[in-house]
Amino acid sequence: MTAVLTSLALGLLMAAVWRDVATRLIPDSLCLALLLVALALRLPSGWMATLGSLGAALLLFCALFCLAMGGLLGGGDVKLAGAFAAALPPSMVWDFLVSTILAGGLLGIGYIAAARVAPHPEAGSSLLRRVLAVEAWRIRRRAPLPYAVAIAAGGALVLLGQQGM
């Protein structure tokens, strides 16, 4: 059951990445679904452990909300990180945060490098080609990063590491 829930959590993270790259929006329903899966992942550890994880996730949410109020992070990113953090024991939330920050740094370096060499792709008729064309345009004008990419990378590293994968 844990493998199924882990796969579902990772799938929801990937859906958030796709939506964030395509639209720079992360739906509330996706964050809520991730929170429910996260809590289901923690329930086998007992109610107290689940409540501890929920408390740690709430603390992370509040800290990231302060960053969002300063314009440093998007609201969807705050909700996504908070929802995912509920899947982890409280002691691993710091690992998740550090992994996400490092992934965000790599994402930023990639975007800076890509801004110099970003091609001008034609939009085309497929959804993927349109998203790639818009993303290349965003890179060239140095638009905000789709931080769900970093959150998903950091989350996947920590979650898979916790599962021993």
Residue 111: CA count within 13 A, CB half-sphere: 21
Count CB-CB contacts under 10 A for residue 20: 23
Span 105-124, pLDDT tens digits: 999 898 888 777 766 666 66
Helical ranges in 70-147 per DSSP H:
75-85, 93-117, 127-140
Span 48-96, pLDDT tens digits: 999 999 999 999 999 999 999 999 999 999 999 999 999 999 999 999 9
* Owner of token pair 């996706």: 30
pLDDT band at 130 (very low <50, low <70, confident <90, very high): confident
Of 106 and 22, the structure prediction assigns the larger pLDDT to: 106
- Domain residue spans of the chain: 2-162
Of 99, 100, 105, 109, nearest to 139 (Cα)? 109
